[in-house]
Amino acid sequence: MQPQRQQSPNRFIVGVTGASGADFALRLIWQLCKIEGESELIVSPNFFKVLASEAGVTDSRAENLVELSKQRFGDRETVHKFNYCDYRDIGARAASGSQWYKAMVIVPCSMKTLAAVATGLSQNLIERAADVSLKERRTLIVCPRESPLGIIHLRNMLALSEAGAVVMPLMPGYYHKPTTITDLYDFMVDRIMQHMEIDKRVIHPWQG
């Protein structure tokens, strides 16, 4: 029996972990603000350590991520509902196969989280929700940021791809002629949103 579809066609899970590239997560959240729908937002405590190191932001409250995204990229109306989830609560509804979600994305995705999901370990809500996404055949997008990639990283990515996940390293392209670092964030956010099946484009797509 398939889980019942919820009223909102845009219902997502957004996992944020402690890999480098914290602003990719904030930019995705900022872009989602204008998309009608709702997201479960699950944030690893290590994310805030990276955010402090990369951006000098010391606010370490998950419920403030939407406001932090607006401080970073500008104020905007928010029509998207963000539900803040306890990272440790593996009994939350995001971990339930009976709940309907259009997609889950982990951005940035640490290699520790990637390895846990690839091997079926569920020690926190991000890992459990990703495990459930795979078993329920939902779209799961993982966005690692590491270089160079070791053979263990590559094997874990292959295992996830074989299990049905979309492995999308944070490797922006340049054909949209970026002039700021935010343009590079938007390249990846646009690709993520396409795989979340969101129609809105945030860059001018390649025309060939």
141/129 Cα distance (integer angstroms): 12
Q: Where do we find the tokens 């990637």? A: 114
What are the domain boundaries of the chain? Answer: 11-195
| pLDDT score recorded for residue 107 | 98
Rounded to 10 degrees, the C-alpha dihedral 24/29/32/36 comes to 160
Instruction: Encode pLDDT of 97-126 as tens digits.
Output: 999 999 999 999 999 999 999 999 999 999
Sign of torsion, CA 41 34 21 161?
A: positive
Give 65-95 pLDDT, tens digit per residue.
Answer: 999 999 999 999 999 999 999 999 999 999 9
* CA proximity to 27, closest of 207, 160, 172: 172
Per-residue pLDDT band for 207 (boundaries 50, 70, 90) equals confident
For position 197, what pLDDT does the model report?
97
Asked whether residue 136 carries a pLDDT value surpassing 50, the answer given is yes
Whether residue 62 contacts residue 84, with contact meaning beta carbons closer than 8 Å, is answered with yes
Mean pLDDT to the nearest integer, 115-140? 97
Please give the CATH number for the structural domain made up of 11-195. 3.40.50.1950
> Which band of pLDDT confidence, cut at 50, 70 and 90, is reported for residue 1?
very low
Instruction: Output 127 or 9, whichever has higher pLDDT.
Output: 127
Q: What is the pLDDT of residues 23-49, one digit of tens each?
A: 999 999 999 999 999 999 999 999 999
pLDDT tens-digit map of 149-191: 999 999 999 999 999 999 999 999 999 999 999 999 999 999 9
The average pLDDT across 10-17 equals: 98
Average confidence score pLDDT of the chain: 94
On the question of pLDDT at 4 being above 90, the answer is: no
Burial class from Cβ neighbours inside 10 Å (0-12, 13-18, 19+) for residue 48 reads: buried
